[in-house]
Structure 1
């Protein structure tokens, strides 16, 4: 990772391209309370999400039809101040917290199933090395706990398999979670082409970030979105790829989606926006100060 100068430069450059990346938030239509403002993603039937563990409601369908890009109106949670007394102090408390925030497959839609392996080990952390190749290392000092869950939509009717990952990371405080977003911005500047593993690559990446109140972002303290192309020796490509990260207090939540044959970027955006906004609602419910 680069230092302070590189990260500051990343913020300046990427925030300058805000109008282009605002497309994700226009499709998502997330309001300050995290609810859907504009309905489903373009050309896709809607599915409303409910908090993890309660199941998902809505219509099914075939193909990679994206769910509506926001949780149901019954789950509205405005942007509250963080209650510091609720912030985890230990790794065990952080693991318990992220378990209440991270989504399950039913939260993304009826066609989404668990992949194998399903959940990453709690002691590993992804690092983009100087050659733009992703590696895993032990947790850095600023991370109390992190977890990634892996899902997919099985190939069907001429459409390839769609891969979706959901990640929650818990830091000691808001400053540390903010630096995680800054590093993500630096990485896309430094490495517009990245190797996920042997035979899997991301290409033509670009990204943008918005603080609370910038463009359409009124639902997270800091939001970062990255889009590009996914290429796989097994699946072919290039196919659309998108990743979105959001921050509330010491917590970051993220969804990454890799496309396939017959899958559009709008399809992926629906799942990404829906999953990210739902985890943000759950983070606010867990860490936000109660009204009154």
Structure 2
């Protein structure tokens, strides 16, 4: 699935080809519940946005394995979130390596990202930061992997929908004082669309990342997020100069697929 979506991205990507961003993204919420709800998955956010019919998703979690407490959900995200070993040889931890599980980033009306308290209707969320140091004439590659356990599938679906809308509302976003992304475009793929044959929903954002630490001018930015029931998984990549987009997307797709497999294994999903 992920590799097929990558091909679609390469066909229409507007990022520069010489080298992206990788910070944790906002986790949106709906109504509060006592634990993760195993209710049937809604029509995917991507399908709802395009009006396309969506096949029944293949993933089915075992209700007995779904976390119902923050402690259990935190155990899940720590077991699933990708780290250096998921990306390939030479990757290492960035500092800090993990986000604070008590916080979440929120995109303001001014298109600036800020930290906020993790809401009660998210059981757990965690981001891990990795990098491939610059070498051999190629610039540094940075990646981040984010896993979020929502209390309900509907809330997880809402997160995907809002992420799609954020790229429309804020095609240019300020990450930190000296880091920003611009020219964002997004592609949403419900199950059965654009080669997505594994996740309930999938989306890809692409644009340009600008940070003085990585040199003058923009480098490519890619954000790939998928949903399996009440769990969302994402990997962001900001590419080093001289690193091909196909290499960046392949690394990203591999990590997303490995996290999907880990969720299926731990939650008893079928397919």
TM-score by length of 1: 0.72
Q: Which runs of 5+ in 2 are unaligned?
A: 11-56
Corresponding residue for residue 132 of structure 1: 111
1:127-175 CA deviation, whole Å, 9 max, x = no partner?
0001111111001232111110000000101111110001111111211
2:200 matched to which residue of 1? 221
CA distance in 1, matches of 2:5, 2:192: 16
Query: 2:225 & 2:78 partners in 1: Cα distance?
Result: 17
Give the structure 2 partner of residue 266 of structure 1: 246
Cα pair distance change 1:213/1:194, threshold 3 Å: same
What is the TM-score with the length of structure 2 in the denominator?
A: 0.77
Between Structure 1 and Structure 2, how many residues are aligned? 222
Contact 1:95/1:145 (8 A) holds in 2: yes
Which of 130, 146, 154 matches 2:133? 154
Cα distance in structure 1, aligned partners of 2:74 and 2:80: 10
C-alpha distance in structure 1 between counterparts of 2:66 and 2:5, whole Å: 33
Aligned partners of 2:131 and 2:142 also within 8 Å: yes
Matched, 1:95 2:74: yes
Instruction: State the partner residue of 2:220.
Output: 240
Question: CA offset at residue 25 of structure 1?
Answer: 5.2
Asked whether the 8 Å contact 1:202–1:228 carries over to 2, the reply is yes
Which residues in structure 2 correspond to 1:34-183 (within 5 Å)?
79-183=58-162
Q: Is the 8 A contact 1:87 1:250 kept in 2?
A: no
Matching of residue 185 in structure 1 with residue 167 in structure 2: no
CA contact (8 A) 1:205 1:228 kept: yes
Matched, 1:201 2:183: no
Alpha-carbon separation, structure 1, partners of 2:60 and 2:231: 13
Measured after TM superposition, the shift of residue 260 of structure 1 is 2.1
Asked if 1 retains the 8 angstrom alpha-carbon contact of 2:5 and 2:196, the reply is: no
State how far apart, in whole Å, the 2-side matches of 1:128 and 1:243 are. Answer: 15
The answer to whether the 8 Å contact 1:241/1:268 transfers is: no
Shift of 1:126: 0.9
CA RMSD in angstroms, aligned pairs only: 2.0
Large movers: runs of 4+ above 6 Å: none
Contact 2:61 2:270 in 1 (8 A): no
Give the secondary structure class of the aligned counterpart of 2:123.
strand
Question: Alpha-carbon deviation of 1:289?
Answer: 4.5
CA contact (8 A) 2:147 2:233 kept: yes
More contact order relative to length (CA 8 Å, sep ≥ 6)? 2
Q: Secondary structure at the match of 1:93?
A: helix
Go from structure 1 to structure 2 and tell me whether the alpha carbon gap of 1:260 and 1:237 turns closer, same or farther (over 3 Å shift). Answer: farther
Cα distance in 2 between the residues matched to 1:259 and 1:237: 12
The answer to whether the Cα contact below 8 Å between 1:222 and 1:246 also exists between their aligned partners in 2 is yes
Equivalent of 1:283, from 255, 263, 266?
263
In structure 1, the gaps of 5 or more residues are 1-20, 29-77
What SS does the corresponding residue of 2:232 show, helix, strand or coil?
A: strand
